[in-house]
Structure 1
Amino acid sequence: MQVQGKEKLRVHIRWMIRRDMGEVLQIEKGSFEFPWFEEDFVRCLRQRNCIGMVAEHGERVVGFMIYELHKTRLHVLNFAVAPEYRRLGIGQQMIEKLVSKLSSQRRTRISLEVRETNLSAQLFFKQNGFLATAVLRDFYDDSTEDAYVMQYRIMNETEEYESSNRIHRLAG
C-alpha cells in the first residue's frame, strides 16, 4: 500500500516503559516548538487514569501517544511521530489503536486540543475522522495561542439508525 508516494510502515503499538523515555523525548523535541520535559511525562504517567503507548518499528520507537481515560471518553494529551517517519501510516495506526478502545456502551469519543498554528496536525486528525468542535481562547501556558478542540465519536445503535433514516428521507 502506498501513502503519498511512500510505503506504509507497519508498527507494533505497546505500553510505554521507562526505557522508552530517551527516544520519546527525542521525538517530542523534534516535533514541537514548546516540547514537554521528562518531568511532564513522568508527572502525567503517574496518574492512575493516564496511559502512555509507543509505536515501535524494529527496535526503534518511532511514535508515541499519551492519553487519559475518562468515564465517557479518551482525552489525548500528547501525540507525535518521529519527523523522519511521518506520512508512512504510523499516526493512522496509532489512531486506529485508540478507536479500538471505544465502545458504544462506555467510552464513545476521543478528544484532543490542537494549536491553531499546527495545520498539519489539524489536517491529520480531520483525515482520520476528527471534527473541530470548539475553540479554546488563549489555551496554552507558553503562548497566547488558541486551541481547537477536535473529537472523534462513534455512534451508538440508536444514533446510527436515526442517521440512516435521516439520510434515507433526504435521498427519497
Structure 2
Amino acid sequence: MSTVPTAKAQVRVHIRWMIRRDMPEVLAIEHASYEFPWCEEEFLRVLRQRNCIGMVAECGERVVGFMIYELHKSRLQVLNLAVAPEFRRMGVGRQMVAKLVGKLSSHRRTKILLQTRESNLSAQLYFRALDFRAVEVVREAYEDTGEDAYVLQYVLPDVLPTELVEGVPVNRIARQLEG
C-alpha cells in the first residue's frame, strides 16, 4: 500500500506594515530560509531608505512571512521575501506576491522585479508559477559566493511596452505588425 502525500492546508494571512517589534521573528525566518541571511543591521539599513517598505504576513499573532521591496517610478523591486519553513506551500508567499501585484497600475508601476541566486531552483520555479519570467543574468551578483543571479520580472497583464503605446516600433517584427 503506497501513501500519497497530502497537500498542506492553505492559510489566510493578514499582511501589514513591518514594525520594529517584528524584527526577532523576521530574523528567525530569514535565518531559517537562507544560507547567507541578512543580519539585523542590513534590514535596518535598507528599511531606513525612503523608498523601501517592509511588510509581514501574520497568522494569528505570529509573523509567518515577510517581504522588503523598493518603490521606483515604473516598478516595484523585491529585495527580500521569505516564509517560515512550517508555513511554506500553504499560500503565504502567494498572498504576499498578490499584495504586490495589487499595487501595480497600468498608468504608473507596471512590473515587479526581483533577483534570485542561480542555484535557488525552488525560488525560480516558484516565481515562474506566479508568472514571473527571467529577463537577465547578473554575473557574480553575490559577493559571498560570486554566484550569478537571475533577474525575474512580472509584468501587469494588458500593459503594452512603452514603445508600442507611443506608436514607435521596437524592432523589425513590430514594424511588420504595424505595416
Same-fold call, TM > 0.5?
yes
Q: Which residue number in structure 2 is paired with residue 22 of structure 1?
A: 24
**Aligned partners of 1:12 and 1:158: how far apart in 2?**
32
> What secondary structure does 1:110 align onto?
strand
Identity %: 66
Q: Deviations over 1:113-138 (max 9, x none)?
A: 00011111111100011000110010
CA distance in 2 between counterparts of 1:158 and 1:62 reads 36
Aligned to 1:92: 94
Q: Work out the CA distance in 2 between the residues paired with 1:58 and 1:142.
A: 36
DSSP-derived class of the 1:124 partner: helix
- The residue aligned with 2:139 is 137
Between the aligned partners of 2:126 and 2:19, the Cα distance in structure 1 is: 26
For 1:151 and 1:131, the matched residues in 2 are separated by: 5
In structure 2, stretches of 5+ residues that fail to align are 1-5, 165-179
Give the structure 2 partner of residue 65 of structure 1: 67
**What are the ranges of 5 or more consecutive residues in structure 1 without an aligned counterpart?**
163-172
Q: What letter corresponds to residue 18 of structure 2 in structure 1?
A: M
- Displacement after TM superposition at 1:157 (Å): 5.5
Alignment counterpart, residue 116 of structure 2, candidates 90, 114, 117: 114
**Is 1:55 matched with 2:57?**
yes
- Asked if residue 154 in structure 1 is aligned to residue 176 in structure 2, the reply is no
Q: CA deviation at 1:158?
A: 5.2
Computed over aligned residues only, the root mean square deviation of the Cα atoms, in angstroms, reads 1.3
What are the residue-to-residue correspondences of 1:69-88 with 2, within 5 Å?
69-88=71-90
Q: In 2, Cα distance between the equivalents of 1:38 and 1:91?
A: 22
1:57-89 C-alpha deviation (Å, 9 max, x unpaired): 000000000000000000000000001110000
The CA deviation at 1:155 is 3.9
Give the number of the structure whose alpha-carbon radius of gyration is greater: 2
Q: TM-score with structure 2 length normalisation?
A: 0.85
